[in-house]
Amino acid sequence: MTDTTQADFTPVGGRYINPFTDFGFKKIFGEEPNKDLLIDFLNELLREQNHQIKDLTYKKTDRLGISDLDRNVVFDLYCESEEGEKFIVEMQKAKQSFFKDRTLFYSTFPIQEQAPKGPWDYKLKSVFAVAVLDFTFDDVDKDKTIVNRVQLFDHSTNKVFYDKLTYVFVQIPNFDKGIDELETHLDKWLYLLKNLASFDRIPEKLKEKIFTKVFNIAEYQQLSKEDREAYEDSLKYYRDLKNSLDTAEEDGYKKAEQKFALIIEEERKQKEEERKQKEEERRQKEEERKQKEEERRQKEEERKLKEEERRQKEEERRQKEEERKLKEEERRQKEEAFQKILELAKLLGKMGVPVNEIADKTGLTIEQINHLLSNGH
């Protein structure tokens, strides 16, 4: 990548993807290998509140209503910190009627899901709703506020009433600093997001590890064929939306709202389809996992059966060997007893005991005794 000085750097672009497309935003901030980018960005937005995130876990972006009659929602990104704090991160491409109401409605889902079944003391983890806007609020446009941080406020005391529910709105169009005016890390993030799609190289002032990673991820030529196709579709939708809004300004707000409603509905359908596809992929993976587990279980069962057969055969062999030893011991004992009887008969014969009495005492036959005595035993 070619270096450039701060003074002569001007974004001219086409090399990097647009982070305000649905694909671009999720590619940079919504993938597990890139969560360090999201953590760094959120930490900068929350720095004034002395809040720092160490780690995040991506969660399912679709949220179901409590009942079948309730409306379902699909977030752009939904994360949880290691302390259990909830983060909704949305990228909003254009103005929408009741956008603030919509953001408030979305924030109720991470609150509701914290309620366990059974007894509960109502203690909640913090919820943060962060919206990166490619437009400005009409009611704050005059003062050019860039980052709005909103919490429940007590007007009687002029203090924050509840600090566990925070809304952060980043109005990107209000950020108008040039490359040489960047002072803070957050300035660099906002400048990068606003101008990434028009860069043709990395400006010297953004050659930090975290921003270099963004440039590497966002380089169009490095995307896979499938990702390029997905990005082109997302970019077309983004441009159509912008063109619709430009036309709407000329034709009147009412007509624009109708077109915008159709686009929003299409976006909702696309997100719902993505959710269904991800759910199907999850189901298929779970099915594969179960099949593998069943195969493993069957193999383990076969191994146990074989082991049991081997053990039974070993036990049969041991029993036969034991029986053989018992028979051998009986034969030996009988042989020893017979030898003792012979010795007794021989001793009685030497003592002159009649053959009939020897036969009675030893159980030998007269022929056996005569044979024994005649052979000199």
Q: How does pLDDT run across 34-70, given as a tens digit for each residue?
A: 999 999 999 999 998 888 999 999 988 775 455 444 4
Whether residue 229 is predicted with pLDDT greater than 80 in this model: the reply is yes
**Residue 202 is assigned to a structural domain of this protein:** yes
pLDDT of residue 102: 87
Q: How does pLDDT run across 8-31, given as a tens digit for each residue?
A: 343 334 789 999 999 999 999 999
pLDDT of residue 139: 56
Number of domains the chain contains:
1
**Residue 127 is assigned to a structural domain of this protein:** yes
Whole-model pTM: value is 0.62
Task: Name which residue leads in pLDDT, 136 or 156.
Answer: 156
**Residue 349 is assigned to a structural domain of this protein:** no
**Residue 122 is assigned to a structural domain of this protein:** yes
pLDDT of residue 269: 87
**Residue 319 is assigned to a structural domain of this protein:** no
**Residue 161 is assigned to a structural domain of this protein:** yes
**Residue 302 is assigned to a structural domain of this protein:** no
**Whole-number average pLDDT of the chain:** 86
| 4-8, 68-72, 122-126: the lowest-pLDDT one | 4-8
Question: SS3 sequence, the chain?
Answer: CCCCCCCCCCCCCCCECCCCCHHHHHHHHCCHHHHHHHHHHHHHHCHHHCCCCCCEEECCCEECCCCCCCCCEECCEEEEECCCCEEEEEEECCCCCCHHHHHHHHHHHHHHCCCCCCCCCCCCCCEEEEEEECCCCHHHCCCCCCEEEEEEEECCCCEEEEEEEEEEEEEHHHCCCCHHHCCCHHHHHHHHHHHHHHCCCCCHHHCCHHHHHHHHHHEHHHCCHHHHHHHHHHHHHHHHHHHHHHHHHHHCHHHHHHHHHHHHHHHHHHHHHHHHHHHHHHHHHHHHHHHHHHHHHHHHHHHHHHHHHHHHHHHHHHHHHHHHHHHHHHHHHHHHHHHHHHHHHHHHHHCCCCHHHHHHHHCCCHHHHHHHHHCCC
Q: What is the mean pLDDT of residues 92-106?
A: 84
**Residue 243 is assigned to a structural domain of this protein:** yes
Owning domain of residue 241: 22-251
pLDDT of residue 125: 93
Q: What is the mean pLDDT of residues 186-208?
A: 94
Whether residue 97 is predicted with pLDDT greater than 80 in this model: the reply is no
